[in-house]
Amino acid sequence: CALRPLADATVAAAAVGDRASYADADRAFHGAVLALAGNHSLVAVADDLHRRSQWPLVDNPVTRRADLLADASEHTALLDALIAQDVAVVQSLVREHFAGADG
Q: pLDDT tens track of the chain, all 103 residues?
A: 789 999 999 999 999 988 889 989 999 999 999 999 899 998 899 888 877 776 555 556 656 788 888 889 999 999 999 999 999 999 999 888 777 665 4
| Long-range pairs, 74-79, Cβ under 8 A, ≥24 | 74/100, 75/6, 75/7, 75/10, 75/11, 75/26, 75/29, 76/7, 76/11, 78/7, 78/33, 79/1, 79/3, 79/4, 79/7
Q: Show the domain range for 25.
A: 4-102
Q: What total of structural domains would you count in the chain?
A: 1
Q: Give, as one character, the DSSP assignment of residue 71.
A: H
Q: pTM for the full model?
A: 0.78
